Structure 1
Amino acid sequence: MKKAKWLCTAAAVLALSVAVAGCGGSDDKKAADSKGGPKGDVMVYTSIYPDIIDKMCKPNVAKAFPDMKVTWFQGGTEKVITKITGEIKANKIGTDVLMVADPSYYLTLQDQGLLLDYVSPNLKDVITDKDKNGAWSSVRVCNMIIAYNSDKLKPEDAPKSWKDLTDPKWKGKIAMPNPMLSGTAYVAVGALADKYGWEYFDQLKANDIRVEEGNSAIQNKLLTGEYAAAMILEENVLKLANTKNEPLKVSYPEDGVIIIPSPIAIFKATKNPEGAKALVDWWLSKDGQQAVVQGWMHSVRGDVEPPKGAPALKTFSDKAIKVNWEKLSKENAQIKEAFRVRVME
């Protein structure tokens, strides 16, 4: 992969991340204070869920940077990408730091020369995907899995693989998030199309799979029993099972979990490079990664335990579906159109 070396072996993928925020900022001379921490404003665009931002990101970041104002813009990955695309065209990028789910988008930005090379002192501790020059680094690991309601299905009856979702017994009872809106769903579509061919999605369409706006809508309908099983992010299930004692369970597909090492990056257009670099340093530190785990995602470091209720990534990463990030970066429109025609029409 040009410009970026992605560790494609699933065993190398072990991670997690968390999102931060900021508000595009202060002058460089105001950002650094030799007698204290970074100052000024930092804007972060992120796809991290709003409740995780409020409960985990904001308090941890405020504690780490008491003299810096960090502001957030939150939206699904595709919503954030649409916003940034408009800002790039207007030559007025409004964010300093980017933390969205789809790793392939960072390759697109890197090809456009928009990312700042910054080798954080903590980059050496990141064991998942990262750019050798520091243009981006994975900061959280999200896993696309199959979930089911244990009040409605016994574990032995739940789908065990992605192929199981094509079984006629699940007709009209399965769902997935919309890849036009969800970055992780887009990655899942590209990975499964490469593994099984587009015929797989023809089979899902024939099985009357429902396409929901996002992971949150799916989790709610799993709880009501409208869906028997669904493609969804692991973090959604872990959060509900552990904080609200809901009966959702994770089935780690035998034909491979889709592991998504979501990155963090700084735009060259940042008005507060010192503040942005300090944020990257913190999120890649052990403290920052422990905060990521609080958000029910996996760490990108090897010295941080997985989120509560989840096995270590190494227990299933060797069988993970390999993802062609370069292809996802270059063929975004074609992949989405192929999905739309096959599944959504």
Structure 2
Amino acid sequence: MKNTVLAGVLAALLPTAALAGEITVYTAYEEDEAAAFLDLAKQAMPDIEVNMLRLSTGDLAARIIAEKGNPQHDVIWGFAASTIVNPEIADTLEAYTATGVDTIPAAFRDGDNMWFAVTGYMAAFCVNTERVEKLGLDVPKSWADLVDPKYKGEVVMPNPASSGTGYIQVSSILQMKGEEEGWSFLDQLDGNIAQYIKSGSKPCNAAAAGEYAVGASFDMRAIKNIEEGFPMVMVIPAEGAGNELEANALVASSKNKDDARRFLDWTLTPEAVNAYYDWKAIVTVPGGSLPERFRSAGMPEDTNSILYPTDFQAAGKDRDRIISEWQRRYEN
């Protein structure tokens, strides 16, 4: 009897041991979308324990660089392409040709297979319709509108040192206008900014709550807040929306590369791609369609028509210099 019980116990334990696998992913996806994507990944790969650390782009970049000598993660997931090219981060990666990566246009992946991007986001203004009406303001249509003195103290924006959204907003303005004119414009804009907020989503939330008239943020946060019934509209800047790709990559020091590669393969499966289309206006894998709630919030079917042609390599190369200059001018 004892042997029979022992055999039963061992039989129950063996599958667990055989299925053992654990990876850690670092991500800059927003908390709600990261949680939704991770839940799908765990359903698809129940034999892998996937641990996730979610931080804003700037904070996550600082952590990856600080841990460079002893990385604590296996996968980078949904992380700004303009930051992943930083040599201090790129040096921690290993080339991997993920299954299905050839469905992504070459512009959205590294030529040496160090990273690939399946999603992205774009700059958008969150405008509280009740507050602009109360204050007698117009709904701004462009970045140029926001330097009008009538918006003084009514605009909040992400801090580019900590927020990928904030950085791509600043970087795209400098790319649009050139350095000299761009910094001059940002000087004018700074005169109207009530505060710079650490997160890319919080300016939108603050505007939605009626604390300010305009929150410079990104598309998905605006769409979600509109869907939740806040009195606001989403505005895509008339100059073109600065945008960012969200990259995935294999960490060279991973102790469990087989499962890390499986996770990266999963990010390109039809199941994952369908989920991206529920959350993202920029999906680099073709085949999905824009959800109705995106269109009703004002997003055009052809999102390419409103995107500024961002130079991600330049944005990455110039990042430290731009942030240092921005801090010198506006953090006091």
Q: What TM-score range do you get, normalising by the shorter chain?
A: 0.7 to 0.9
Taking a change above 3 Å as real, the CA distance of residues 134 and 296 of structure 1, as seen in their structure-2 partners, is same
| Paired residues for 1:1-12 under 5 Å | none
Taking a change above 3 Å as real, the CA distance of residues 39 and 140 of structure 1, as seen in their structure-2 partners, is farther
Percent identity, aligned pairs only?
Answer: 23
| 2-structure distance, mates of 1:77, 1:93 | 17
Q: Counterpart in 1 of 2:318?
A: 331
Q: Counterpart in 1 of 2:200?
A: 215
Taking a change above 3 Å as real, the CA distance of residues 314 and 308 of structure 1, as seen in their structure-2 partners, is closer
Q: Counterpart in 2 of 1:137?
A: 116
Unaligned runs of 5+ in 1: 1-36
Cα drift, residue 68 of structure 1: 0.8
Cα drift, residue 296 of structure 1: 4.5
1:218-277 Cα distance to aligned partner (Å, 9 max, x none): 1232123221112101111112222x2222321111110112111111111111212111
Cα drift, residue 313 of structure 1: 6.8
1:91-115 Cα distance to aligned partner (Å, 9 max, x none): 2111111124421222124885332
RMSD: 2.4
| 2-structure distance, mates of 1:120, 1:313 | 31
Do 1:201 and 1:343's aligned partners in 2 also have CA atoms closer than 8 Å?
no
User: What is the TM-score of this pair, normalised by structure 2?
Assistant: 0.84
Taking a change above 3 Å as real, the CA distance of residues 299 and 112 of structure 1, as seen in their structure-2 partners, is closer
Taking a change above 3 Å as real, the CA distance of residues 317 and 334 of structure 1, as seen in their structure-2 partners, is same
- 1:125 matches 2:103: yes
- 1:116 matches 2:64: no
The residue identity in structure 1 corresponding to 2:95 is D
Do 1:110 and 1:135's aligned partners in 2 also have CA atoms closer than 8 Å?
no
The residue identity in structure 1 corresponding to 2:26 is Y
Cα drift, residue 150 of structure 1: 2.8
Unaligned runs of 5+ in 2: 1-17
Do 2:123 and 2:165's aligned partners in 1 also have CA atoms closer than 8 Å?
yes
The residue identity in structure 1 corresponding to 2:80 is D
Q: Alignment partner for residue 254 of structure 1, among 238, 256, 276?
A: 238
Do 1:39 and 1:67's aligned partners in 2 also have CA atoms closer than 8 Å?
yes
- 1:151 matches 2:138: no
Cα drift, residue 184 of structure 1: 2.2
The residue identity in structure 2 corresponding to 1:161 is S
1:100-140 Cα distance to aligned partner (Å, 9 max, x none): 44212221248853322111231111235111332111121
- 1:233 matches 2:218: yes
Give the number of the structure whose alpha-carbon radius of gyration is greater: 2
Q: Counterpart in 2 of 1:300?
A: 284
- Give aligned pairs, total: 304
Do 2:58 and 2:161's aligned partners in 1 also have CA atoms closer than 8 Å?
yes
Q: Alignment partner for residue 165 of structure 1, among 133, 146, 154?
A: 146
The residue identity in structure 2 corresponding to 1:51 is D
Cα drift, residue 57 of structure 1: 2.2
Q: Alignment partner for residue 288 of structure 1, among 254, 269, 272?
A: 272
Taking a change above 3 Å as real, the CA distance of residues 313 and 42 of structure 1, as seen in their structure-2 partners, is farther
Kindly indicate whether structure 1 or structure 2 has the higher relative contact order, using CA contacts under 8 Å at least 6 residues apart.
1
Q: Counterpart in 1 of 2:49?
A: 69
Q: Counterpart in 2 of 1:98?
A: 76
Taking a change above 3 Å as real, the CA distance of residues 227 and 120 of structure 1, as seen in their structure-2 partners, is same
What secondary structure sits across from 1:151 in the alignment? helix
What secondary structure sits across from 2:110 in the alignment? coil
User: What is the TM-score of this pair, normalised by structure 1?
Assistant: 0.81
Q: Counterpart in 2 of 1:190?
A: 171
What secondary structure sits across from 1:289 in the alignment? helix
Do 2:120 and 2:243's aligned partners in 1 also have CA atoms closer than 8 Å?
yes
Taking a change above 3 Å as real, the CA distance of residues 111 and 151 of structure 1, as seen in their structure-2 partners, is closer
